[in-house]
Amino acid sequence: MARLEIDRNIIVAVKKGELKAFDFIVTFYQKAIYSHLYRLVNNPDDALDLVQDTFIKIYKNRDSIDLDKNFKAWLYKIATNTAYDWLKKKRPKTEELTYESEFETIEQAQSYYNIEQLEILDLTEAIKTLKPDSESVLRLYYQQGFSYLEISEILEIPINTIKTKISRAKAELVTKLKKE
């Protein structure tokens, strides 16, 4: 599965402060960054604000873009850190996550397709109950398609720690889903 990458010349132009190139970067990545941030904060308005904050940080720190490293990983690292900083300010540390499903029972008359949709919703809700860092590594790996190395760079965590976090998050998910 090939991923789309931004041409190196565009990144060089952004580094020089060219607004058209930066506008291209924003247009190219804003939906993916919004999706990533929305999953972290679970609020569309907050996610939009964080997208804006992320791209402001990108522009202000464009001099620190390393052309030898993965730009997309750097971008996600800034977005993730922006969300984590926001979450630290917004949420008290003692807050407990709870799972409340909109679906209490599954009627026997439902089709296989409807049951499959409910399973996807249950998985989505179960993922939301994970700790933010566990949820983040799962989403970066499975939804965004980043490698362990790229996730390691984004989160500034050793690669073996990323492997462990993904393994533990999957095990925790399995346990949560079995309970339901």
Per-residue pLDDT of the chain (180 residues; tens, 9 = 90+): 344 567 788 989 999 989 999 999 999 999 999 998 988 888 889 999 999 999 999 999 888 888 888 888 889 989 988 988 888 887 554 444 444 444 444 443 344 334 344 344 456 667 777 787 788 888 888 777 888 888 888 888 888 888 888 888 888 877 777 776
Residue 152: which of 168, 164, 135 has the closest Cα? 164
Same fold, 1-94 and 96-180: no
Give the start-to-end residue ranges of the domains of the chain.
1-94, 96-180
CA distance 178 to 180: 5
The pLDDT value given to residue 85: 86
DSSP string covering 4-49, please? P---HHHHHHHHTT-HHHHHHHHHHHHHHHHHHHHHHH--HHHHHH
pTM over 0.75: no
Topology given in CATH for the domain delimited by 1-94: Rna Polymerase Sigma Factor; Chain: A (1.10.1740)
* Per-residue pLDDT at 124: 64
Measured between alpha carbons, how far is 132 from 96 in angstroms, rounded to an integer? 12
Question: Considering the domain 96-180 in this protein, what is its CATH number?
Answer: 1.10.10.10
How far from 63 is each of 8, 12, 71, 93, CA to CA, in Å? 15, 10, 13, 34
- In angstroms and rounded to an integer, the radius of gyration of the C-alpha atoms of the chain is 18
